[in-house]
Chains A and B, each alone.
Chain A
């Protein structure tokens, strides 16, 4: 019973860190997705090419490599960041690249007739994006963003490898302290699942709400 409590308290501490990193990096990834996604749709070459470079570099090299690079290399280059920031930055940049592709694909998926109708109504490019294209693209993005958020949640476990005391890190620490290996890891898996499930449900709810009336 006592061991159980100790395990629980230990994991709970890690849960806080995991959730914190999750929220910050989701926000960073979301902002980057839209900025890079819009850049990649630009009619000018420079933003378009920079966006492609960003996307391919962060998708093409592995997340763990990026985290280690930030963790080990930045201090040597004279940039000192708190471990938490390294984690958020690594996850945000990596998933931001994937998100940018989702934004780009979704905006392109809105039928061309919608753009033409907006032009025929003499809407400004801003208004066209804001009132017509984005609301429709947003609905297309939702299921994929839902999956991406789950991927990001799973990705947060990697920050334990750069010494951030998240759920996974705490589990490893508890394992060497208590040797209750089986119990600890079963709890750990269940906790991750319990975080993931409401995220999926939340996105499904949002999707349903957004698609009211749209056949």
Chain B
């Protein structure tokens, strides 16, 4: 029933699709980071309506399915004259959805900076931009790198949804193979194994760096627990 020959013979095809999967993850992650930082800055702004609007957008995007958001971008945007290629629509959706998670991560990083750092910056009369680029961000980013890495893996595992808007990533490739050969078991098992082989070592790596970084930055036990929960929740 299970054919090793077939399972191996389709690997080149699947690995080709894996390139698309990884591309989508990387571009999506960049979009998510940029948007996430943007949300974070808006939420710290003193303009109340802007703050409120961003909080609402983030809450709404986070509470509704990525799949529906992908359809929305792919089907609804064109009716307003914005036609995107499936890949662009895909990474935009993926990036937008996960930007609402990353903004929380950035916030955690920034909130963990002691008040004294802000006060010292004021005392040194640093400009606002300098404070952010030279004092706050260099301290806020390193401790959250493992969390960011974890979301990278999460996004990687979400890319199969892009198959719904006709991007030929691994799942779509497996489906094509399956419908041509009726050998779905081999095709989807292969894809599952590839996902596991890529995501599991990566998550171990980030767990390891997390421990190292925590050690270095002496984050409290409580913070580490919240992080772990964070991961647990937001696969």
Interface residues of A (CB under 8 A from B): 56-57, 59-66, 68-69, 72-73, 76-77, 98, 101-102, 105, 109, 143-144, 147-148, 150-151, 153-158, 160-161, 168, 171-172, 175, 181-182, 185-186, 188-189, 192-193, 196-197, 200
Interface residues of B (CB under 8 A from A): 1, 60, 62-69, 71-72, 75-76, 79, 157-161, 163-164, 171, 174-175, 178, 182, 184-185, 188-189, 191-193, 195-196, 199-200, 203, 225, 228-229, 232-235
A56 to B, closest residue via Cβ: B200
Is there contact, CB below 8 Å, between B232 and A105?
A: yes
**When the two chains form the complex, which single residue of A69, A144, A158 contacts B67, counting CB atoms closer than 8 Å?**
A158
B156 to A, closest residue via Cβ: A62
Interface of chain B, helix or strand or loop or mixed? helix
Interface of chain A, helix or strand or loop or mixed? helix
Could you tell me the distance in whole angstroms from the C-beta of B14 to the nearest C-beta in chain A? 12
22 pairs of residues in contact across A and B, judged by CB atoms under 8 Å: A59-B235, A61-B193, A63-B160, A65-B191, A72-B178, A73-B184, A73-B189, A76-B184, A102-B233, A105-B225, A105-B228, A105-B232, A150-B63, A151-B234, A155-B65, A157-B67, A158-B67, A168-B71, A185-B76, A186-B76, A189-B68, A193-B64
Is there contact, CB below 8 Å, between B68 and A192?
A: yes
A68 to B, closest residue via Cβ: B188
Bound-state CA distance A79–B163 (Å) is 26
Inside 8 A of B191's CB, which chain A residues have their CB? 61, 65
